[in-house]
């Protein structure tokens, strides 16, 4: 039950705070540990493999130690600290705000929309049309639902379930598991490019970690859009997306909204449909918001019993 309260704490902080400033965010601090890896190495795969094991483990141990120490001082402090760790390991409100901003700017200020897309996708948007910009916002919101929320929530639940079998408190292991997943995802986002061989181990680890969250996110989106058939559409387009995971949530969004989602030169989902209008893009972002709320609710229920 205490882990369920921690989920509620995290959800409340997400709704009220959104995200702390970068200079105060532990994920940014973790990024400063990852950044020195981005250089030439004589044996990049060895260096990358060691880092992919050591750095996420370090993040997890810090979270476990913090929550365990707090729980020893007072159970309520342990709950608050576990909720804080989960909050820091997830992101929903900032994602939704950024996506909404891009969609709105496509009507009034394309330069601002293109700049705002960098906060979501980090892709070159200089030549993207309004429809492609809106599509990129929907794609990124759907994909980041899995990366930024469902994965860490799922890890938190799994840690709570496994805790009795490894001799740790449920709060401490749940927090450590969420921090570990966030660390893996952060390493992938910073280093997981084909041009950076040192990042290949982190990218492969992230692919494995995200396998289930991506599919759970697709299911949650299908529920949020009230369109179970969208899962069939997503499945039929998977071969067109290089990532083994992101095609699921993006494909569900494309099918449920009946729009084309396209990354020029990389993939096209639902190719026969039109690019998103402002109304459909906004509906897509709302669907991600509903799926996010469902994620918190399911995590709370799963940790309550």
Range list of H helices, the chain: 2-16, 26-34, 44-73, 75-88, 93-108, 110-117, 130-145, 151-166, 170-191, 200-209, 211-224, 230-237, 247-257, 278-304
Q: Who's near 105: CB < 8 A, 6+ residues apart? A: 112, 113, 116
Q: pLDDT tens digits for 1-30?
A: 899 999 999 999 999 998 888 899 999 999
CA dihedral 249, 254, 260, 265 (to 10 degrees): 10
Q: What is the mean pLDDT of residues 109-133?
A: 89
Q: Nearest Cα to 170, choosing from 28, 16, 305?
A: 305
Q: What are phi and psi of 267, to 5 degrees?
A: -160, 160
With a threshold of 0.85, does the pTM exceed it?
A: yes
Give the domain ranges of the chain.
2-304
Please count the other Cβ atoms lying within 10 Å of the Cβ belonging to residue 211.
Answer: 13
- DSSP class of residue 147 equals I
Q: Nearest Cα to 81, choosing from 15, 131, 89?
A: 89
3-state secondary structure of 268: strand
Q: pLDDT tens digits for 148-206?
A: 999 999 999 999 999 888 777 999 999 999 999 999 999 999 999 989 999 999 999 99
d(CA 199, CA 217): 25
d(CA 60, CA 172): 9
Q: pLDDT tens digits for 55-105?
A: 999 999 999 999 999 999 999 999 999 999 999 999 999 999 999 999 999
d(CA 88, CA 36): 23
The two tokens of residue 242 are 């290089």
- The pLDDT confidence band at residue 125, using thresholds 50, 70 and 90, is confident
| 270: region left, alpha or beta (phi > 0 left; psi from -120 to 50 alpha) | left
């Amino acid at each position: 039950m205490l882990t369920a309260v921690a989920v509620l704490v995290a959800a409340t902080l997400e709704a009220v705070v959104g995200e702390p400033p970068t200079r105060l965010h532990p994920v940014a601090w973790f990024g400063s540990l990852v950044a020195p890896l981005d250089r030439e190495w004589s044996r990049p795969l060895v260096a990358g493999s060691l880092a992919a094991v050591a750095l996420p483990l370090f993040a997890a141990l810090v979270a476990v130690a913090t929550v365990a120490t707090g729980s020893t001082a007072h159970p309520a402090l342990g709950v608050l600290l576990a909720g804080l760790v989960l909050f820091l390991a997830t992101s929903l409100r900032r994602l939704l705000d950024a996506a909404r901003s891009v969609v709105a700017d496509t009507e009034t200020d394309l330069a601002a929309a293109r700049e705002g897309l960098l906060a979501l996708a980090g892709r070159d948007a200089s030549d993207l049309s309004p429809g492609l910009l809106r599509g990129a916002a929907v794609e990124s919101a759907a994909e980041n639902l899995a990366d930024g929320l469902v994965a860490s929530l799922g890890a938190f639940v799994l840690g709570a379930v496994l805790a009795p079998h490894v001799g740790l408190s449920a709060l401490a292991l749940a927090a450590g598991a969420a921090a570990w997943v966030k660390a893996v995802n952060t390493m992938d986002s910073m280093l997981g490019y084909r041009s950076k061989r040192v990042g290949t181990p982190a990218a492969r680890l992230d692919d494995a970690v995200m396998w289930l969250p991506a599919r759970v996110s697709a299911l949650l989106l299908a529920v949020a859009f009230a369109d179970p058939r969208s899962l069939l559409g997503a499945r039929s387009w998977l071969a067109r997306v290089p990532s083994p995971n992101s095609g699921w949530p993006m494909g569900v969004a494309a099918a449920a909204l009946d729009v084309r989602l396209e990354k020029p030169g990389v993939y096209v989902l639902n190719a026969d449909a039109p690019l998103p209008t402002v109304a459909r893009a906004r509906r897509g972002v709302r669907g991600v918001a509903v799926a996010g709320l469902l994620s918190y609710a399911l995590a709370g229920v799963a940790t309550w019993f």
